[in-house]
Amino acid sequence: MTADVFLTQLEQCLSSLTTEEKENAMSYYREYLEEAGENAEQAVEHLGSPQSVAENILAEMRENHDDALNEQKPGQQKASAGNIIIGIIVLIVTSPFWGTLAVLWLTLLFCLAVILLSLVFSAIFAPIQGISCLINHFPGEGVWAIGSGLLCAGLALLLWKPMFLLCQQSTKAFFGFCRNSLNILFRKDS
Q: Mind listing the pLDDT tens digit for each residue in 108-155?
A: 899 999 999 999 999 999 999 999 999 988 889 999 999 999 999 999
Quick one: 14 exposed, middle or buried, by C-beta within 10 A (0-12, 13-18, 19+)? buried
Residue 60: band (very low, low, confident or very high) from pLDDT cuts 50, 70, 90: confident
Say what percent of the chain tops pLDDT 70.
89
Q: Mind listing the pLDDT tens digit for each residue in 40-58?
A: 888 888 888 888 888 888 8
CA distance 30 to 40: 10
Domain spans in the chain, listed from the N-terminal domain onward: 3-76, 81-186
